[in-house]
Amino acid sequence: MERITISLDEALAREFDELIAARGYSNRSEAMRDLLRRELESARQRVETDGQCIATLSYMFNHHERELSERLTGLQHDHHDLTVSTMHAHLDHDHCIECAILRGPTAAVRRFAGAIVAERGVRHGSLNLVTVDMTNTTHSHGHDHAHPHAPGHVHYRPRN
Domain ranges of the chain: 10-47, 52-133
pLDDT score at 135: 61
Which string of b and e fits 75-99 if b means at least 16 CB within 10 Å? Answer: ebeebeebbeeeeeeeeeeeebebe
pLDDT score at 154: 37
Which helix (H) or strand (E) is 83 found in, with range?
strand 83-90
pLDDT score at 138: 56
Query: Distance between CA 72 and CA 58 in Å, rounded?
Result: 13
pLDDT score at 155: 39
pLDDT score at 109: 94
| pTM summary value | 0.64
CA angle, corner 89, sides to 87 and 92, nearest 5?
A: 165
pLDDT score at 66: 85
DSSP states of 28-68: HHHHHHHHHHHHHHHHHHHH--SSEEEEEEEEEEETTSTTH
pLDDT score at 31: 87
Q: Name the CATH superfamily for 52-133.
A: ACT-like. Chain A, domain 2 (3.30.70.1150)
pLDDT score at 7: 86
| CA-based torsion, 146, 151, 153, 158: positive or negative | negative
pLDDT score at 160: 38
User: Which conformational region is residue 34 in: left (phi greater than 0), alpha (psi within -120 to 50 degrees), or beta?
Assistant: alpha
pLDDT score at 35: 84
Per-residue pLDDT of the chain (160 residues; tens, 9 = 90+): 888 888 889 998 899 999 889 989 888 888 888 888 877 777 766 666 678 899 999 999 988 888 898 899 899 999 999 999 999 999 999 999 999 999 999 989 999 999 999 998 998 999 998 888 766 555 565 555 555 554 444 333 333 3
